[in-house]
Structure 1
Amino acid sequence: METCSQRFRPGDDLYLELLKCAKDWPAACLLTCVGSLKMLAVRFVGAEHEVVLSGPFEILSLTGTCCPSGLHLHICVADRAGQVKGGHLKPGSIVETTAEVVVGILEDACFTREVDGETGYLELVVKKVSQASS
């Protein structure tokens, strides 16, 4: 596994910046992320639409998979009172001071996101590199 380390700056949209980076990652996973957000766009479990919340928020965790066809990221943040919120990270999540991200890029796999007939959602499809090239 290779790694890619990146620091996103104040005003960057964390989701959109990761989406841009993912165009170069055939199969990747978030290893760690620390930082803060001034705006959080998140879809909570079971919700149809995302909500946008004003921060500041401390990023406690960001995890998920990345590939050229899309991202599936879950974020956990804490507000000033220490209240924790989490869900699917969405565009509109704006960095406040920094977001320090380390990504693992898998060398033996290729990820795609395809509509799953059972769930109706874009779901992860994993192919070994030998399968991906055939």
Structure 2
Amino acid sequence: MEYRKFGDTYIVRMDPGEEILTQLKVFAEQEGVKLASVTALGAVKDFTVGVFDTGAKVYKSNRFQGVYEIVSLVGTINTMNDAFYCHLHMCAADQEGHAFGGHLNEAVISATCELVVTCLPGRTDRVFSDEVGLNLISF
């Protein structure tokens, strides 16, 4: 992973074999990023995304392996109990154009991943909501 800062925005390049969430945590902790918006594109070879069942309050995860292009990756960096917290959703398409997506649990880069991380002033934290079953942004 390499990155460079331009004003309040970082351009981050991740390399083959790196895992997106792991590297994003390393980056955020090194740079002291506490609140940011994240967008990205690239290529992955192994990823797991989930869809939240609001009735059962659990995620159903799906794992995909093969040749995939990241069509969209969006989300936020903030904190939970003052520690790094990241909430990303990703959609990736196979060679036939079939797209698969959801809440990002894990994604291993096959070629590259180019991220734009826009830092925001201030902080938000996360708090678990029993009612919803998720870690919600708390102001």
Fold-level similarity (TM above 0.5): yes
CA-CA distance at 1:20 after TM superposition: 2.4
Task: Give the Å deviation of 1:45.
Answer: 4.2
Structure 1, unpaired ranges of 5+? 127-134
CA distance, structure 1, for counterparts of residue 11 and residue 138 of structure 2: 25
Q: Is the 8 A contact 1:22 1:67 kept in 2?
A: no
1:54 Cα offset (Å):
0.3
Corresponding residue of 1:120: 133
Asked if 1 retains the 8 angstrom alpha-carbon contact of 2:52 and 2:60, the reply is: no
Q: Secondary structure at the match of 2:23?
A: helix
Q: CA deviation at 1:5?
A: 1.0
For 1:34, the equivalent position in structure 2 comes to: 41
Q: CA deviation at 1:67?
A: 1.9
Distance 1:10 1:71 in 2: 21
* Aligned residue number for residue 123 of structure 2: 110
What is the correspondence of 1:6-17 to structure 2 with a 5 Å cutoff? 6-17=12-23
Q: Which of 90, 95, 106 is the equivalent residue of 1:75?
A: 90
SS at match of 2:59: coil
Q: Deviations over 1:113-132 (max 9, x none)?
A: 11124212111123xxxxxx
CA shift at 1:76, angstroms?
A: 1.0
Alpha-carbon deviation of 1:7?
A: 0.2
Is 2:33 the counterpart of 1:18? Answer: no
Q: Which runs of 5+ in 2 are unaligned?
A: 1-6
Query: Contact (CA 8 Å) 1:76, 1:85: kept in 2 or not?
Result: yes
Structure 1: distance between partners of 2:79 and 2:52:
24
Task: Pick which of 50-59 and 2-11 moved more.
Answer: 50-59
Task: After superposing the two structures, state which structure 1 stretch, 2-11 or 38-47, moved more.
Answer: 38-47
Q: Percent identity?
A: 30
* Divergent runs of 4+, >3 A: none
Find the counterpart in structure 2 of residue 88 from structure 1. Answer: 103
Partner of 1:5: 11
Output the TM-score relative to the length of structure 2.
Answer: 0.80
TM-score using structure 1 length: 0.83
